[in-house]
């Protein structure tokens, strides 16, 4: 990630008011080149409103917004930005391919690019089928394909996995990770902490229009706990303490809780088994978004840019 280059998205003191509703309340947000940034918050937190402002669909009430060094909605900014805000609109009786052809013509994108984006989103095989026959996951992927037509530097996706079944979610997560690995900058919104943890480098948490925290995702991951049920328990505790440090292991009910990322589970399991300890349960705790909010808000509003 290039930290010295200018941020692709720079938002300061952003506010949007709808009548009496303050949908966005003084949000600061920076997205750096090459990062996958997750904008996380419950329904109604102000995510869609913020993304609509960033793509020039609506104007802010106050605050400054720079996207790719320009104002949102400017032609040269739009040319370098791909977005999918809410459900993408396509002609149901046209194929995915024909829908993309129309968009490519409008955006003056060479036709050869269409095949590339269809392959990127894994829709090449079904490209000639009518849009109306697509699963929701395929419809969303076509939306991402459309967003990628201009080969944009910045991709903005509003709740890209919303409403998808587990397989559809997995495909979409994989696709977004690929976009990030490709060096593209991605800003996505989600209400699912687990999803953001799997896809993003950094996460900004928004609640009731305000940014309550901004974190490097590795940090959030490090805060996760593994739950381990093993006998004899004291031997298990000492094996785990040797592996991850005494402070990172504690007893809760009749399980051991270990502050460690889920990807250490296999290694810890192996250490326990090698020490002759019987492990009957080992899983990571799914920290609910509400828990994270509770922790963040109970100690006052935190805003720490750790990127």
Ligand X SMILES: Nc1ncnc2c1ncn2[C@@H]1O[C@H](COP(=O)(O)OP(=O)(O)OP(=O)(O)O)[C@@H](O)[C@H]1O
Which residues of the chain form contacts with ligand X (CB under 6 A)? 18, 21, 23, 41, 43-49, 159
Query: CA-CA distances (angstroms) from residue 32 to 67, 134, 305?
Result: 11, 34, 12
Separation of alpha carbons 225 and 259, rounded Å: 4
Q: Which is nearer to ligand X, 23 or 142 (CB)?
A: 23
Q: How far is the CB of 220 from ligand X (least distance, A)?
A: 19
Q: How far is the CB of 13 from ligand X (least distance, A)?
A: 17
Q: Which is nearer to ligand X, 21 or 133 (CB)?
A: 21
Longest dimension (CA), the chain: 68
Separation of alpha carbons 143 and 153, rounded Å: 17
Q: Which is nearer to ligand X, 55 or 255 (CB)?
A: 55
The phi and psi torsions of 28 (rounded to 5 degrees) equal -110, 135
The secondary element (H helix, E strand) that includes residue 165 is none
Q: How far is the CB of 32 from ligand X (least distance, A)?
A: 22
Separation of alpha carbons 153 and 145, rounded Å: 14
Q: Which is nearer to ligand X, 17 or 221 (CB)?
A: 17
Q: How far is the CB of 190 from ligand X (least distance, A)?
A: 9
Say if strands 225-231 and 255-259 run parallel, antiparallel, or are unpaired. Answer: antiparallel
How distant is the alpha carbon of residue 107 from its chain centre? Answer: 27
Q: How far is the CB of 23 from ligand X (least distance, A)?
A: 3
- Identify the DSSP state of 100: H
Q: How far is the CB of 163 from ligand X (least distance, A)?
A: 11
Which residues have C-beta within 8 Å of that of residue 191, sequence separation ≥ 6?
40, 41, 42, 43, 45, 47, 159, 289
Q: Which is nearer to ligand X, 46 or 96 (CB)?
A: 46
Q: Which is nearer to ligand X, 23 or 146 (CB)?
A: 23
């Amino acid at each position: 990630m290039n930290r010295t280059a200018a941020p692709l998205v720079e938002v300061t003191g952003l506010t949007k008011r709808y009548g009496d509703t303050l949908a966005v309340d003084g949000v600061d947000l920076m997205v750096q080149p090459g990062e996958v940034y997750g904008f996380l918050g419950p329904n109604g937190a102000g995510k869609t409103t913020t993304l609509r402002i960033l793509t020039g669909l609506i104007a802010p009430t106050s605050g400054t917004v720079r996207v790719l060094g320009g104002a949102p909605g400017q032609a040269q900014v739009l040319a370098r930005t791909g977005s999918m805000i809410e459900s993408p609109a396509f002609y149901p009786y046209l194929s995915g391919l024909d829908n993309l052809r129309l968009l490519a013509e409008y955006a003056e994108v060479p036709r050869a690019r269409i095949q590339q984006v269809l392959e990127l989103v894994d829709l090449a095989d079904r490209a000639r089928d009518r849009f109306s026959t697509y699963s929701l996951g395929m419809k969303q992927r076509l939306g991402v394909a459309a967003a990628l037509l201009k080969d944009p530097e910045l991709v903005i996706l509003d709740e890209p996995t919303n409403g998808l079944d587990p397989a559809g979610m997995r495909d979409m997560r994989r696709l977004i990770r690929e976009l990030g690995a490709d060096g593209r900058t991605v800003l996505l919104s989600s209400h699912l902490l687990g999803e953001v943890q799997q896809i993003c480098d950094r996460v900004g948490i928004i609640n009731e229009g305000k940014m309550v925290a901004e974190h490097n995702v590795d940090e959030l991951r490090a805060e996760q706990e593994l739950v381990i049920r093993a006998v004899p328990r004291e031997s298990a505790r000492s094996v785990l303490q040797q592996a991850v440090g005494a402070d990172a292991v504690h007893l809760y009910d009749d399980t051991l809780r270990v502050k460690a990322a889920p990807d250490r589970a296999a290694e810890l399991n192996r250490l326990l088994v090698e020490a002759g300890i019987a492990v009957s349960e080992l899983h990571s705790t799914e920290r609910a978004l509400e828990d994270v909010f509770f922790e963040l808000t109970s100690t006052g509003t935190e805003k720490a840019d750790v990127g």
